[in-house]
Amino acid sequence: MREIKFYSKNDLASVPILQKIEYILKESKEEKELASINDMIEIYNIKQYFDHKLYLLSWTSDEIDKYESQVEIYFKRVARFFNSINRGNLVDLFNELDIEYIEDFWALFDKFKVYEKITDEEFKQLIHEKNFWLYQLLKYKNLGERFGRVIKEYMLKDYSSAELLLDAYEMQRTVEQGRFIFPKELTNSDKETIILNYINSESPNLNYLRLIVNIQSNKDKILLSPKTLLNAKKRAEEEERKLFPEDSGILLESSVVFSKNQEEAVITNVEGMSIKVTYSTKWLEENIGNETLLNNFIYLFEFVDNQMRCNFVSKPSQMGVMERIASSRSRNAYLTGISFKQMNMFSLIQMYGYYNELFSLGVRLESVIEWFFKEYLSNEFQALNFDINMPSTNSTLLEKCTNIMPAVESVLKQFSLFVQEGIVDFELLEIRSEHLSYSNIPSLVNKKYVYGVGEEFNYATFLFFSDQSGLGYNKKNQSSYENYFELLRNESYKLSDYPEYFHQEIEWLLERNYLKSDSEGYITIEDDALILVMRDLYFNQVINYWRSSKTKRNAIDKLETKKAIVFESSLFSKPEQDYINYTLNKSQFNNGWDLRNRYSHTQPKSKNSDKMHEQNYMIFLRLLVLFVIKINDDFCISDSISKREFENITIS
């Protein structure tokens, strides 16, 4: 293994490698004989360090000038060497390469235009050698243009090339990688053939099969037929059965119980990954009013938090480090980690249990929802003419699923019209034919939602709240916390107590008044409310401005002057918009459930259709209940603002 290898400007190993470079340069001088292709590529790697201005701190300016001149002389020999490569020695030289220098070989092969002296047949022989990896070659446009036909033939014969296509067009990468340049000779038909070969191969990777199943066809990238997608789905299911037999994997246990003997409204028990919640049937019987029955979704089932933000949306902050890094997913997919899946499963069980419990008490949840739109809004807020027709008791499950979406979309269109016109006019509503976009549904409230924006916000929140910033650990007394914010809340340190490599980050926070230093030199938070707002935005992605305390609203306004946040006004926050799209369609996410379109166009079938339709109906109802909560919240805030009751609507 060669000791000199350039990876990136930020590589932590640069200092010891620079020390080895210094030794080489001092030893070699002009007399060094550069004999092998690996010697040449080693010089290329040395030059990379100097090109990126990476030097040892001990080097003087004269030494730097001397070393740079020396490297330039050596690199002229590298150029002559590569210019001497021809069809006669190409394969032999390639097979001499140390494995870590193969990628550099292609960079120099491209730089010195060696490809101009090589025929298609000779190149074909080269790419079938043992240590050839196609991904290294696909970074160079010139090679793809010169040998496009040969590369295409290679990809058609090597089914693993499908993974490169999926990496380029579908895979979401945690670490940015170089862009692949596929030859223009590779048609959409060729790409589908390669992917079919991969699906039918002996050992396809399950993660890639799942990507294929959810791929969004694009004529400029990959265009797959429904038959190919179905083949991928069946093969993925086959591989899942092999890899995950019954009773394997992590147990996520969620249970909802309604007890006739329990006095307390709700008792929650969490043990590891298991959640058990028991609700009092007696309490329900004694609090059977429609308003209370809907409020139960807020205060008992916690579908939303105290800012009326949906609790079962996906949040990147809920994913662990390994889950974020190791998971393979499409760049067009909705983020579905373990926490999200458990929360969605639990809220669906709550909906099942509550729906059936109410039905046993003689109450249809559909009737309660109809009451909200037909009576409550007009009585409470003088919002007249709202109407909804929910599926009847006698409807089949398929009919319920088919009929509920028009009802859902109708009330959202009614609300949009009310915001714009101040009244629900059904004649006007019927004339308007625009497509319903969940992101464009307006709000009665200005400055409703707050979002963090900009480089300063992103960097400051990373330093304070990320478990990857490193500031949560201080080796002075080996204190370790989840993040820097938690350390500041529990420990007192001076700047000199931190390792020197953290000083730059802490000084950056001091200069921008996120931190301050007291008279004794101890570092503390400058404005607690401001940092708490930033913390909320980091972990929850959005804040409901009018559901925040006056102190936090002032801090938000202060962040606006820093251009660290923006306001937007809509019925749903961005995380909620994403979740709704994930549930109802595939317009935004290729792994979406697509429930709206499935019942609008195809009437889905399965081996147990009734069970599937029942589950989907509960999902529709859960979403409609969320819409009821959000619409009510919008009216409540608007009403309180008009009455100048700001403090009455805030929650600390």
CA distances, 452 to each of 103, 320, 455, 534, 559 (Å): 40, 22, 10, 8, 9
Residue type for position 221:
K
Residue 293 falls inside a structural domain: no
The Cβ of residue 434 has, within 10 Å, a number of other Cβ atoms equal to: 8
pLDDT in tens, 534-558: 999 999 999 999 999 999 999 999 9
Same domain for 228 and 193: yes
Do 112 and 79 meet the contact criterion of CB atoms below 8 Å apart? yes
Separation in Å, CA 285 to CA 105, 260, 357, 365 = 77, 10, 10, 15
How far, in Å, CA of 364 to CA of 3, rounded? 73
Domain-located, residue 352: yes
DSSP conformational letter for 375? I
Q: With beta carbons less than 8 A apart as the criterion, state whether 373 and 384 touch.
A: no
Q: CA-to-CA distance for 648 and 547, rounded, in angstroms?
A: 10
With respect to residue 315, please indicate whether it lies within any of the assigned structural domains: yes
Is the model's pLDDT at 7 over the cut of 90?
A: no
What local confidence, expressed as pLDDT, does residue 407 receive? 92
Q: pLDDT (tens digit, 9 = 90+) per residue, 629-650?
A: 999 999 999 999 988 765 555 4
Q: 9 by DSSP, 3-state: which?
A: coil
Predicted confidence at residue 173, as pLDDT, reads 58
Give the model's pLDDT for residue 33. 63
The tally of domains found in the chain comes to 4
- Tell me if 266 is assigned to some domain: no
Structural contact between residues 168 and 191, judged by C-beta atoms closer than 8 angstroms: no
| Number of helical H runs and strand E runs in the chain | 29, 12
Q: Say yes or no: 379 and 464 in one domain.
A: no
What is the average pLDDT score of the chain? 89
> What are 108's two structure tokens?
């120099």
What are 167-224's pLDDT values in tens digits? 888 876 544 455 889 999 999 999 999 999 999 999 898 888 988 988 877 777 888 9
Instruction: List the domain range (segments joined by +) for residue 55.
Output: 1-132
In tens, the pLDDT along 600-616 reads 877 777 667 888 999 99
**Under DSSP, is residue 255 helix (H, G, I), strand (E, B) or coil?**
strand
CB neighbour list of residue 184: distance below 8 Å, 6 or more residues apart: 144, 145, 148
H or E stretch at 258: strand 253-259
Q: Are residues 515 and 621 in the same domain?
A: no
Would you list the DSSP string of 80-129? HHHHT--TTTHHHHHHH--GGGHHHHHHHHHHTTGGGG--HHHHHHHTTS
- For the ranges 45-54, 177-186, 387-396, 405-414, the lowest mean pLDDT is seen at 177-186
Q: Are residues 24 and 117 in the same domain?
A: yes
Please name every residue paired with 271 in a beta bridge, in sequence order, or none if there are none: 274
Q: Residue 296 domain-assigned?
A: no
Task: Please provide the DSSP assignment of 292-320 as one string.
Answer: HHHHHHHHTS-SB-TT--BTTS--GGGS-
Question: Quick one: the chain helix, strand, coil %, rounded to 5?
Answer: 55, 5, 35
Residues 535, 577, single domain; the answer is: no
Range 232-248 average pLDDT = 80
Instruction: Name every residue whose Cβ is closer than 8 Å to that of residue 91 and which is 6 or more positions away in sequence.
Output: 122, 125, 126, 129
In the chain, % of residues over pLDDT 70 = 92
Closest of 326, 343, 178 to residue 270, by C-alpha: 343
Tokens of 472: 């949560």
* Cross-strand bridge partners of residue 171: 330
Evaluate whether 354 touches 395 at the Cβ level (below 8 Å): no
Question: Helices 338-360 and 609-642: crossing angle, nearest 10°?
Answer: 90
- 466 plus 400 within the same structural domain: no
Residue reference for tokens 């080796």: 475
Q: Which of 279, 276, 286, 277 is nearest to 258 (CA)?
A: 279
Of the candidates 541, 562, 596, which is a domain's last residue?
Answer: 541
**Residue 351, CB-side half-sphere exposure with 13 Å CA sphere:** 22
Same structural domain, 497 and 599: no
Same domain, 48 and 4: yes
Taking the C-alpha atoms of residue 597 and residue 409, their distance in angstroms, rounded to an integer, is: 13
Side-chain half-sphere CA neighbours of 76 within 13 A = 6
Of 31-45, 379-393, 423-437, 632-646, least confident by mean pLDDT is: 31-45
Residue 140 lies in a domain: no
Cα Rg of the chain, angstroms: 31
Segment 279-288 mean pLDDT: 91
The answer to whether the beta carbons of residues 544 and 307 sit under 8 Å apart is yes
Surface-to-core class of residue 350, CB atoms within 10 Å of its CB (0-12 exposed, 13-18 middle, 19+ buried)? buried
**Residue 34 pLDDT:** 63
Of 596 and 556, the one with more pLDDT = 556
Are 577 and 613 within one domain?
Answer: yes
Residue partners of 302: CB distance under 8 A and separation at least 6: 311
Residue 473 has pLDDT above 90, yes or no: no
Query: Is the same domain home to 624 and 637?
Result: yes
Structure tokens at 309: 């933000």
Name residue 310's amino acid. Answer: C
Residue 400 burial class via C-beta count within 10 angstroms: exposed 0-12, middle 13-18, buried 19 and up: buried
Q: Which residues pair with 450 in a beta bridge?
A: 543, 567
Q: How far apart are CA 2 and CA 100, in angstroms?
A: 8
Q: Based on the domain organization, do 126 and 215 belong to the same domain?
A: no
Report the CATH number at residue 513.
1.10.10
519, pLDDT greater than 50: yes
Beta pairing class for 449-452 and 565-568: antiparallel
pLDDT at 652 over 50: no
- Are 542 and 575 in contact by the 8 Å Cβ rule? The answer is yes
d(CA 22, CA 113): 30
Identify whether 268 is part of a domain.
no
577 and 437 in a common domain: yes
CA separation for the pair 360, 376 (Å, rounded): 24
Two tokens, residue 132: 């050839």
Instruction: Calculate mean pLDDT across residues 392-403.
Output: 91
Distance, in Å, from the CA atom of 221 to the CA atom of 168, rounded to the nearest integer, reads 9
Contact 208, 163 (CB under 8 A): yes
Whether residue 100 is contained in a domain is answered as yes
